Chains A and B, each alone.
Chain A
Amino acid sequence: MNFLDIISSLLLFAGTFFAFSGAVGLFRFPDFFTRVHAASLTDSIAAILMIAGLLLQTSFDLNTAKLIFILVFLLITSPTASHALAKSARHGGLLLFTEKPTKQGGTNQDD
C-alpha cells in the first residue's frame, strides 16, 4: 500500500463518515428544514471526499474526467434539489420547529 493509497483510503473513510452522520441527522433533527440541512451538507462533503479518494486511484485518463464530471454534476444538482425541496416544503406549509402552528393551519406533522 503506497502513500497515495493511504491518502485515498483516508479520504474514503472521511467521506463515509460524513455520509453516515448525514443519515443520522435525517432521523435525529427536530424538523424538516434542519433535516434538509443535515442531508444536503453532508451529501456535498461526502461526495467531494469520496470522489477525491477515487480520483487518486486513477491515472489521469478518461476515468478522471468522468469522476470530475460526476463531482461537478453532484455539486451543482444536489444543493439545487435540496433548495427546491425546502422551498416547496415552506410553500406547502411546513413550519420550523421554533414556530408555532397558526390558525391558518401549518401542518407540522412531526413524530
Chain B
Amino acid sequence: MTTIFAAAAIAILVVMAMALTRAFTAPTVYDRILGVNMFGTKTVLFIAVIGYLMGRPDFLDIAIVYALINFVGMVAVLRYFEYTAPIE
C-alpha cells in the first residue's frame, strides 16, 4: 500500500507543479488566481495522502486547515481585487 500512496503523492505533486506553473505564467490575473486555487485544493489532497504514506493519518487536521485557509484566501483575493485598478 505504501507504494500506492507514494505514487499518488508523486502524481499530486506533478499536478501541483502544473498549477504552480500556471500561477507563474498566467495570461490574465484571473488565471493566476485559478492556478493558485487549484494549487491549494491539490495541496489538501496531498496532505491527506502523505499522512497515510507516513503512517500518521491523524494529521488530517492540517488538511482541514489548508482547505479552510485556501477558501478564505480566495475570498480575500476576490474581495480586495475589486478595490484595485482594473487590469492594465
A and B touch in the complex (CB under 8 A): yes
Interface positions of A (Cβ within 8 A of B): 1, 5, 8-9, 12-13, 15-16, 19-20, 22-24, 26-27, 32, 35-36, 39, 43, 46-47, 50-51, 53-54, 57-58, 62-63, 66-67, 69-70, 73-74, 77-78, 80-82, 84-85, 88-89, 92-94, 107, 109-111
Cβ contacts A to B, 10 pairs, < 8 Å = A23-B14, A26-B35, A32-B30, A35-B31, A66-B60, A67-B60, A77-B71, A81-B75, A88-B78, A89-B30
Which one of A8, A32, A50 has the greatest number of beta carbons of chain B within 10 Å? A50
Q: Is the interface of B mostly helix, strand, loop or mixed?
A: helix
Q: How far is the CA of A24 from the CA of B68 in the complex (A)?
A: 25
Q: How far is the CA of A39 from the CA of B64 in the complex (A)?
A: 20
Q: How far is the CA of A54 from the CA of B4 in the complex (A)?
A: 11
Q: Given A20-B11, A23-B15, A63-B60, are A84 and B44 neighbors across the interface (CB < 8 Å)? A: no
Contact A73 B11 (CB under 8 A): no
Contact A94 B28 (CB under 8 A): yes
Distance to closest chain B CB from A94 (angstroms)? 6
Q: Given A35-B34, A84-B78, A88-B81, are A12 and B15 neighbors across the interface (CB < 8 Å)? A: no
Q: In residues 40-88 of chain B, which contact A (Cβ within 8 Å)?
A: 41-42, 44-45, 48-49, 52, 57-58, 60-61, 63-64, 67-68, 70-71, 74-75, 78, 81-82, 86-87
A93: B residues at CB distance < 8 A: 86-87
A47: B residues at CB distance < 8 A: 41, 44-45
